[in-house]
Amino acid sequence: MKNKIILIPITIFAIGIFQRCTIKSTKNQKVISQELLYDSINKHSKLFDVDLTTIVEFNDTDSTNNNFNNLSLIIEKDTFHLIPDLKNKEFIKERNTLKIKFATEAKFISKTYENDSLSDKILKSIIIIDKSKIIEKDKPFVVKSLILGYPVKENGIKFE
């Protein structure tokens, strides 16, 4: 009985330390916004091809290329790898952070511009790093719907 009394506080303490380490490690990144890009140029059969981009902010102390390549987007039960656009990264000196835009392997199709059901799926989605840690969404997180009025560059990712 005495062993159980000692074991319970030790277990609670160990769980608390583990949770603190996990929470601390995911605070180094946050999702700023996500953009649904509706392609009006290559519109086929009255349907829009829709691409998704995600902007993630990293603390400068945690900004290694290894972290950029381990992000995934989970929508319902599907997981999609996020592809970083490292040519257009933005360093914000006053906050000592780095903003990077990611493309998603997921391709969506929509009949209408600003499809509410698609936006809801994106709002409910989560982004993970290293297959286990959830990246929190920023307080003023938004899902923007944009329409492309120019051709997208074929050899590589082009964002504007």
Digit-coded pLDDT (tens) for 95-146: 788 888 999 888 888 888 888 888 899 999 999 988 788 999 988 888 998 8
- The reply to whether the predicted model has a pTM over 0.85 is no
Q: Percent of the chain having pLDDT more than 70?
A: 68
Q: Any idea which residue has 């990264």 for tokens?
A: 89
Give the residue with greater pLDDT, 96 vs 32.
32
Give the residue with greater pLDDT, 5 vs 79.
79
CATH classification number, 28-148, choose in 3.40.720, 1.10.10, 2.60.40, 3.90.1570: 2.60.40
Domain range list for the chain = 28-148
